[in-house]
Amino acid sequence: MVLRNVVKIDEEKCDGCGQCVDACVEGAIEIIDGKAKLVSEVYCDGLGACIGHCPQDAITVERREADEFDEDATKTYLAAKSNCAQDGLLQDAGTHEHEGFKCPGSMTKVFDQKSQSSTAVSDEIPSQLGHWPVQLKLVSPQAPYFKNADLLLAADCVPFAMGDFHNRLLSGRSVAVGCPKLDDAQLYIEKLAEIIKVGLPNSLTVSHMEVPCCSGLANIAKEAITRSGVSLSFEDITIDLQGNIIKTETIKNNTCKEGLSHESDCPTKECSDSRID
């Protein structure tokens, strides 16, 4: 880390026009979820060539501690973007000419469940996954599969532990997956809050492992609901290390009534414990 100039983007002012994307020859800026974002400090040289191209005055240059500008890494990154563009992958991803580079692996796709079931080999169990991507980092809050959906927020270890995860929890639900211990909880809260606010899901189910660090996924859901401003209860399901459901808990909308300053003052839970073998 060094003290140097780095581009700063005010997302409140940004209208997502994408002119800064075209102006940044290093490719350091992309349009993500309708807003310009600095994808990596190492791609930003700090010269601010993009500033004059922003009609909303949303871009400034700030001097702060940051990773050094890496010219070699930038060249590699730009080459990858160029290769994808030549192969037509950017166009296939539905990328607008001003929307910057998007990984082809994060393209939004909705699957036909009936078609999947009919083409599955007789001795195979068909997948119940109805869309792509599934990682909470990659999904878009505007994705059509989140609109009025039954939403499942799953810790990424749950499908590995639970043998009947697809039929028991995933079937009929849209899903977002993440790890509350290793990933950025604040990013998850903001993304999930936007999904709830925009998609207005019919229901929310949270599934996580019994280990203490994994229970943080329920806390992420609570905070996201509060930030979204949407009244939404959710079912919290705890899975043991052998893949059994050992606890289910209905968490009511955790926005406390006016005058109550602490969660313990606001009764929001109805619990029912059950082990299902």
The whole-number pLDDT of residue 135 equals 93
Separation of alpha carbons 215 and 219, rounded Å: 7
Local mean pLDDT, 10-residue blocks, the chain (277 residues): 93 90 90 88 92 92 92 85 54 39 59 57 81 91 93 97 96 96 92 95 97 94 96 97 96 55 39 37
What count of other Cβ atoms lies within 10 Å of the Cβ of residue 217?
27
The whole-number pLDDT of residue 94 equals 36
H or E segment and range at residue 208: strand 203-209
What count of other Cβ atoms lies within 10 Å of the Cβ of residue 56?
15
Query: Dihedral angle at the C-alpha atoms of 44, 50, 55, 57, nearest 10 degrees?
Result: 50
- Per the structure block, which two tokens stand in for 7? 């581009």
Q: Can you tell me whether residue 67 is helix, strand or coil?
A: coil
Residue 209 pairs in a beta bridge with 239
Query: Dihedral angle at the C-alpha atoms of 73, 78, 82, 85, nearest 10 degrees?
Result: 110
H or E segment and range at residue 41: none
Interaxial angle between packed helices 185-199 and 216-228, expressed in degrees from 0 to 180 and rounded to the nearest 10: 50
Amino acid at 23: A
